[in-house]
């Protein structure tokens, strides 16, 4: 769904997922998003900085960190190089290990 509407702000992504999965609480724990410039960086260089956040905006800092760690773990499962400094106000850097023209 997100690919059809293009890059979205985190709040919009949260709203879409909340509506789509409102009957299944706990299924979606977090989200990632990026803007058009980041998309171009991914296409041209195989690298992108991802904005991220939890779907539950009432979490404390530890809850935010758990969500980010889960996102990082999922990205690494797809054989991506991931760098995140562990701070909740920092984007997650992702580099494709074998970038091809996207």
* Residues 7-53 pLDDT 10s: 434 444 444 445 555 555 556 678 888 888 888 888 888 898 999 98
Distance CA 82, CA 59 (A): 24
Burial class for 13, CB neighbours closer than 10 Å (0-12, 13-18, 19+): buried
Give the alpha-carbon dihedral of 69, 71, 75, 78, to 10 degrees.
110
Query: Is the Cβ–Cβ distance between 84 and 41 less than 8 Å?
Result: no
Higher pLDDT, 97 or 89: 89
Does residue 101 sit within a domain? no
Count of structural domains within the chain: 1
The confidence score (pLDDT) of residue 63 equals 87
Higher pLDDT, 7 or 83: 83
Does residue 45 sit within a domain? yes
Does residue 30 sit within a domain? yes
The confidence score (pLDDT) of residue 8 equals 39
Host domain of residue 59? 2-96
Does residue 7 sit within a domain? yes
pTM exceeds 0.75: no
Does residue 102 sit within a domain? no
Does residue 48 sit within a domain? yes
């Amino acid at each position: 769904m997100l690919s059809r509407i293009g890059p979205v702000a985190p709040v919009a992504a949260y709203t879409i997922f909340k509506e789509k999965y409102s009957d299944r609480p706990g299924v979606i724990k977090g989200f990632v998003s990026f803007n058009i410039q980041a998309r171009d960086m991914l296409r041209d260089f195989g690298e992108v900085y991802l904005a991220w956040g939890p779907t539950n905006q009432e979490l404390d800092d530890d809850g935010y960190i758990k969500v980010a760690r889960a996102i990082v773990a999922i990205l690494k499962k797809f054989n991506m190089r991931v760098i995140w400094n562990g701070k909740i106000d920092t984007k997650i850097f992702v580099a494709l290990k074998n970038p091809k023209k996207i």
